[in-house]
A and B are shown apart, each in its own frame.
Chain A
Amino acid sequence: MIPPDPPGTIADGPSRHLDLIAEMMAAFARSQDVETTLRLALIRAVERLEAEAGSLFLLEPDGALRCRAAVGPVDVTGLRLAPGTGIVWRTIETNSPQRVADTGRDPDFAPRVDDATGFVTRSILCAPLAAGPERLGAIELFNKQGGAPFSDADLGLLQALAASAALAMINARLLAGLAEQEAMQRDLDLAAEIQRAMLPPPQGVDSPVHGLNRAARRVSGDFYEIVPLSDGRIAFAIGDVAGKGMKAALLMARTASLFRCLVKREDGPGRVLAAIEAELHETRLAGTFVTMIAGLLDPARGRVVLANAGHEPPVLVHQGRFVEITEGVPPLGIDPRLFDDGVPETVVDLDGGALYLFTDGLTEARGLVGGVMLGADGVLGLLAAFAAMDAAERLETVLHALGGAVSLEDDVTLMVVEDRLRPPVPAVQRLFPARPEALATIRAAVAETLAGLGASAEVAADCVLAVDEACQNIIRHAYKGGEGDIVLHVAREESDIVIRLMDFAPPVDPAKLVSRPLDEVRPGGLGTHLMRSVMDTVGFRPPPPGIGNLLEMVKRNGVP
């Protein structure tokens, strides 16, 4: 005959209480409210293990323990235990369940709570609420009814309940975190969408003012504005909000809309900036400020009036020279007293030149472009090199050139204000993707330009062939089939036709431009020979901004 198991043996283990474990696990899985379910778990544990009382302690952010639920003659809910002694602390510190048969003989037992409540603790069963290394709290039971000590089996059951409770708590926390993340994500998406919608639409090719923005993150602190006024003048602005995220996005939106509103009311960009400062001061956002330039172009006179509040100095590019326009006041949104004397204005006569405004993302864009370091003047060098290109295309080309190899960490905004009174440049400069599909368009552009210059059909056909072959080389050998751009430049210099092709690929070896001997009939290697055959000179030149490759081909006396 098999004797009945004495209390505290294996057969008396948690298996006897599988129903309770299953019930609690199901309750936790269902639960929307972990605290309520934890309380239920405590009540069930007290009932099933026939304890006189029980408490549930959770760790607070400051490291203390707080009683979140209590069952028994004394309600200790809300009781705070500072880190230190007591069986509950030993449970948490060792992350292992504790069974104390006689509290009087355990030196760690802290009688302080008993003294305060009048409850007499004889024995304790305590299991940690933990998931892996993460400690959340503990469930503690006091005094088995009838005076017997708690058994190992009791400890096993409490451990099982505590483990499923801890898992439920971790799950709930992860879910709450996810929900919060999703809400933040939605906010950012919305902010980004609002920002994109706020940027001006692309301007027509005849507009003397153009802007381009590329956001490095989804929510950008950069903005620009182009507002044609009823008298024919064009107001414009560029700005950069310090700080990131929603706060910066809000300030950016507010500043941009203030500009659009105030520019029609205030006379001159200095007054516009002062008025924006006054408005921003009303609703300051701590820790943020705005650097901004406001300007007004009179296209009929080629004259710009500028006011600069802490922004990167704009640069006038005039016949290949760069002039920084440095006058200005501190940024907006810091202290209105800085603006007591108003905002000074600078008058700039474009005189056929172009004024560039940009955010620091562009001037700080110094990195490898086509394997070559882009210097401080690299961006301006690029802009000057593409002076014959349509303005909007020129901005695009520069961002493409930078984007090819540089990871721009900051938002980039670039604006140009041009003098439409300037004489037309006798040249064509255009940007094309370096892809075989673009070759037909490139050939058509060359043919059209040369016809415009008065070149004969034969001359045009030769130039078309040379450009096509040169572009093939760029596609196949410079970019090696990868993404890239080609800038085509066709100009007349006296009676010569000068064709330049620029790419932003790593420098190629000029020796590659040597024709192969034609005695041997074999496919390939013909392109360079064809270029040299139809053009008078073919050679690499130093590219103006020091990046990429510049191939120059000349057809002498190609135009009358």
Chain B
Amino acid sequence: MNITSTLCNELAVVALEGDVDLRCSPALRKELLERTFERRDIVVDLSGVGYIDSSGIAGLVEAYQGARDNGTRFLLAAPSEPVLRVLRLARLDRVFTIVDSVEPLAAASPGEPLS
């Protein structure tokens, strides 16, 4: 899995690419917690993810909780059908705010890389 974080219109866009499993979920968790700590609005671009397991979901849940405590926004964008199925199985599809695409949120911003 690759993680690319960019800042667009004050929104942290965390784009994931590849399978999210126990091997890389610690890196995802760390990245999301850092963005949460910066009190940024976050959108996780899941369009490049074909597989996610419970360890990856756990990282998303933790970031969601951090954002809730911060009063910032935490969005999931463009989950593929397999990812959506796991979210549904975990009954989290109604918990997360899920949008179809990152585009409208990040529009008209060239985006600057976040560390």
Contacts from A to B (Cβ < 8 Å): 436-437, 439-440, 443, 461, 464-465, 468-469, 472, 475-476, 518, 521-524, 526-527, 529-530, 533-534
The stretch that binds A, out of B15-23, B35-43, B100-108, is B15-23
Contacting pair B92 A521 (CB below 8 A): yes
Question: Chain A residues with Cβ under 8 A from B62's Cβ?
Answer: 523
On whether A534 and B89 interact (CB within 8 A), knowing A439-B23, A440-B21, the answer reads: yes
Complex: A80 Cα to B22 Cα, angstroms? 79
Total cross-chain contacts (CB, 8 A): 63
Interface of A, helix, strand, loop or mixed by DSSP: helix
Q: Find out whether the CB atom of B95 lies under 8 angstroms from the CB atom of A521.
A: yes
Besides A440-B19, A469-B54, 17 other A-B contacts (C-beta < 8 A): A439-B22, A439-B23, A440-B21, A440-B23, A443-B21, A461-B82, A465-B53, A472-B21, A476-B22, A522-B61, A523-B59, A524-B54, A524-B58, A526-B54, A526-B58, A530-B86, A530-B89
Interface residues of B (CB under 8 A from A): 19, 21-23, 51, 53-55, 57-59, 61-62, 64-65, 82, 85-86, 89-92, 95
Are the C-beta atoms of B54 and A472 separated by less than 8 Å? yes
Task: Tell which of B53, B89, B91 touches A468, judged by Cβ atoms closer than 8 Å.
Answer: B53
| A534 contact set on B, CB distance < 8 A | 89
Q: How far is the CA of A475 from the CA of B53 in the complex (A)?
A: 14
Q: Dominant SS at the B interface?
A: helix
Q: A533 touching B89 by the CB < 8 A rule? A: yes
Using Cβ atoms and an 8 Å threshold, which residues of chain A touch B64? 521
Task: Please tell me if the beta carbons of B22 and A436 are within 8 angstroms of each other in the complex.
Answer: yes
> Whole-angstrom distance between the alpha carbons of A524 and B89 in the complex?
14
By a CB distance below 8 angstroms, the chain B residues around A518 are: 90-91
Contact A523 B23 (CB under 8 A): no
Q: Are the C-beta atoms of A530 and B65 separated by less than 8 Å?
A: no
Interface centre among A439, A518, A526 (most CB of B within 10 A): A526
Question: Chain A's nearest CB lies how many Å from the CB of B79?
Answer: 14
What is the chain B residue whose CB lies nearest that of A458? B85
Q: Which residues of B contact A443 (CB under 8 A)?
A: 19, 21, 51
Q: Give min CB distance, A530 to chain B, whole Å.
A: 6
Considering the chains assembled together, what is the distance between the CA atoms of A439 and B58 in angstroms?
17
Give Cα A530 to B62, complex, Å. 18
Contact with B54, one of A436, A461, A521, A530 (Cβ below 8 angstroms): A530
Q: How far is the CB of B64 from chain A (nearest CB, A)?
A: 8
- Give the distance to chain A from B66, nearest Cβ to Cβ, in Å: 11
Nearest CB in chain B: distance from A144 CB, A: 86
A518 to B54, CA, bound (A): 13
Q: How far is the CA of A521 from the CA of B57 in the complex (A)?
A: 11
- Is B65 touching A521 in the complex (CB atoms < 8 A)? yes
Q: Assuming the A-B contacts A529-B90, A530-B54, are A436 and B61 also in contact, with contact meaning beta carbons closer than 8 angstroms in the complex?
A: no
In the complex, residue of chain B having the shortest beta-carbon distance to the beta carbon of A526: B54
- Contact A468 B90, CB 8 Å, known A523-B58, A524-B58: no
- B21: which of A439, A461, A523, A533 is its contact (CB, 8 Å)? A439
Query: Is A436's CB under 8 angstroms from B21's CB?
Result: yes
Cβ-defined contact, B61 with A472, below 8 A: no
In the assembled complex, the Cα of A527 lies from the Cα of B57 at a distance in Å of: 10
**CB-nearest residue of chain B relative to A532?**
B89
Bound complex: CA A424 to CA B65 (Å) = 52
Shortest distance in angstroms between A40's beta carbon and chain B's nearest beta carbon?
A: 72
CA distance A298 to B80 in the complex (A): 55
Q: How far is the CA of A274 from the CA of B78 in the complex (A)?
A: 75
Most buried by A among B53, B58, B85: B53
Q: Which residues of A have CB within 8 Å of B19?
A: 440, 443
A523 shortest CB reach to chain B, Å = 4
Cα(A529)–Cα(B58), bound, Å:
13
**Do A437 and B23 have beta carbons less than 8 Å apart?**
yes
The 19 listed contacts between A and B (C-beta, < 8 Å) are: A436-B22, A443-B19, A443-B21, A461-B82, A465-B53, A468-B21, A469-B54, A472-B21, A476-B22, A521-B65, A521-B92, A522-B61, A523-B57, A523-B65, A526-B54, A529-B89, A530-B89, A530-B90, A533-B89
Report the Cα distance A472→B24, complex, angstroms.
Answer: 13
4 closest Cβ pairs, A-B complex: A523-B58, A526-B54, A436-B23, A436-B22
Q: What CA separation (Å) do A394 and B31 show in the bound complex?
A: 41
User: Measured between alpha carbons, how far is A253 from B56 in the docked complex, in Å?
Assistant: 55
Q: Is the CB of B86 within 8 A of A465?
A: yes
Residues of A within 8 A of B22 (CB): 436, 439, 472, 475-476
Bound-complex Cα distance A314 to B55 (A): 47
Smallest CB-CB separation from B63: which chain A residue? A523
In the bound complex, what is the Cα–Cα distance between A375 and B59 (angstroms)? 43
Residue numbers in B under 8 Å from A522 (CB-CB): 61, 65
Question: Considering only CB atoms, which chain A residue lies closest to B58 in the complex?
Answer: A523
Residues from chain B with Cβ under 8 Å of A468 in the complex: 21, 53
